[in-house]
Amino acid sequence: MKNQIIILAVLSAILCKYSPGQLSAQKILEKTDANIIADNKYFKSKMIIHSRRGSRTIVSQSWVKGTEKSFTEYLAPARERGIKMLRIGDQLWMYSPRTDRTIRIAGHMLRQSIMGSDLSYEDFMEDPNLSKLYNAAIIKEENYLNRPCWVMDLTAAIEDIAYYKRKLWIDRERFLVLKEELFARSGELLKTSEIRKVFKTGGRWYPKHMVFKDAMKKGKGTEIIIEDIRFNEPVDEYRLSRAFLKR
């Protein structure tokens, strides 16, 4: 009788663990992608860059279409006003009104910092569709910022990728990445990101206040604050073209 009870307990645990209703790691990643990605998206943000010399704030607005096209225009301060960046697929261009020139950012330049921040052009270029780029595994569950999270390990499914491994803390109810660690193939930690505040808009949970930190740099990192965001608003195709950069 005692052995039967033990066997039933073990079977019950197995059935619970592999319940048909339980989400797989890849399905969790797909739902997380769906929460962030939209057909069209407009947002205005502040980037607060902390360095040894002090802090400065850059204001910009961006238009995004799916995962392939985006256009960003810098609004303030005066030194950066009018700078524009256009991404189409795996190509990135930048226009500077001070020189009235458009240059393509490619090769080693992609690893350079944007405006002295902890973000690189490579980060700007990154495809947000993680479920298509990585294989995922759940390693544990724990609370982060008083929210129940899945902690997941991601390993690159393709060769040409900025970060070979990632560790994510995904909110189990909101399907939002609250914390992330980015690693090189060697296992070296390259960057971290943490969400400090979230908000709900258009039926989605979205980051309001984030902090990015380059592990190779000293300092407090770079803060991103979303001031306005609108999902699935029409985006003029002309804006997403090289001709619009000098307009």
CB 153 within 8 A of CB 170: no
33-60 tens-digit pLDDT:
999 998 999 999 999 999 888 899 999 9
CATH superfamily of 25-238: Lipoprotein localisation LolA/LolB/LppX (2.50.20.10)
84-96 tens-digit pLDDT:
999 999 899 999 9
- Rounded distance between C-alpha atoms, residue 81 and residue 73, angstroms: 8
pLDDT at 160 over 90: no
If you ran DSSP here, which 8-state letter would residue 79 be given? T
Mapped onto helix, strand or coil, the DSSP state of residue 38 is coil
Once rounded to an integer, what is the mean pLDDT over residues 167-176? 97
CB 92 within 8 A of CB 86: yes
pTM of this structure: 0.86
The domain spans of the chain are 25-238
